[in-house]
Each structure stands twice: as structure tokens, then as C-alpha cells.
Amino acid sequence: MEKRIERSGLDEQEPLVRLFVYGTLLPGFAGYRLLEPYLRGTPLPGRVRGRLVDAGAYPALVPGTGGEDRFVRGLWCELSGAALAEIDAYEEFYGIEETNDYERVWVRDADRPDCAGWTYIWPDSRGLAFADFDAWADKYQDGRGF
């Protein structure tokens, strides 16, 4: 039996994952090239609870608690399940109970509780200052992002 292939070259039967991206994985930034081959459909804007840390060349999301009114804006992307291994390597996530740069965690959209998926976080700010913006693209003011 022949597999049905979409124009993107991805197997239609492969499981999909949803990923919230907020930094260098956004369109217009260097990491987007990793997502693009696995992308299914159009990314949708969203917000998750937390704050951005500006680590220079990239941001980190520090999750917030349910009582905070701080949010990070980004995009929800539906991806082929095969994408996670490549993105895990990019984010230096090696697994649970490993020494990781970022942790991969399950989050829910702040405005649409039925929308949930994976994202990459830092558990704390690591002593860096929180950013004064809620979207990484706002740092550049050059039309990148969403």
C-alpha cells in the first residue's frame, strides 16, 4: 500500500504535536528553518502565562502562576511529531532529569483553554532581568514575528 504524502513531503498519518513558540523559533528568526519543514497549516497567535527573560541573542519563558497577570505572546504551531527530536536538540533539552538548557513542558493558552501543547521554558530567570516586552519580535521593531 502506498503512503499518501502531502506537498510538504510529510506522511499524512504521522501524529501531530502542537508547540507554542515565542522566540528564535518564530517566523523571521534563525530557528524557524527547523520548524518549517514539519509545519502543518498556519501558525495561530496565542498567549501563555509567564514572562520573558532577555538572554541576549534569545529569550527564555519563565512560566507564571495562575494568579499572575503576565503573559508571553507567541504562535501555536501544529507540527509533525518527528519535529520534536530536532527542536529538542536546538533547545538543548535532553530529557527529564537531565541537565538541560530549556525544559519542555505542557502549557495551555491563556485565552483558549482548549488549546494546549508543548513549549520550552526556564524554571526561573537564572538571575537575569525580565524583559519589558511580552513578545520577542517587539525587541526588534522590524516586522519579524507575528
Close Cβ partners of 49 (under 8 Å, ≥ 6 residues apart) = 63, 64, 65, 66, 68, 70, 71, 72, 107, 110
Residue 60 has φ and ψ, to the nearest 5°, of -135, 140
**pLDDT tens digits, residue range 98-141?**
999 999 999 999 999 999 999 999 999 999 999 999 999 888 76
Banded model confidence at residue 2, pLDDT cuts 50, 70, 90: very low
pLDDT tens-digit profile of 60-86? 999 986 667 899 999 999 999 999 999
CB 92 within 8 A of CB 24: no
pTM of the model: 0.87
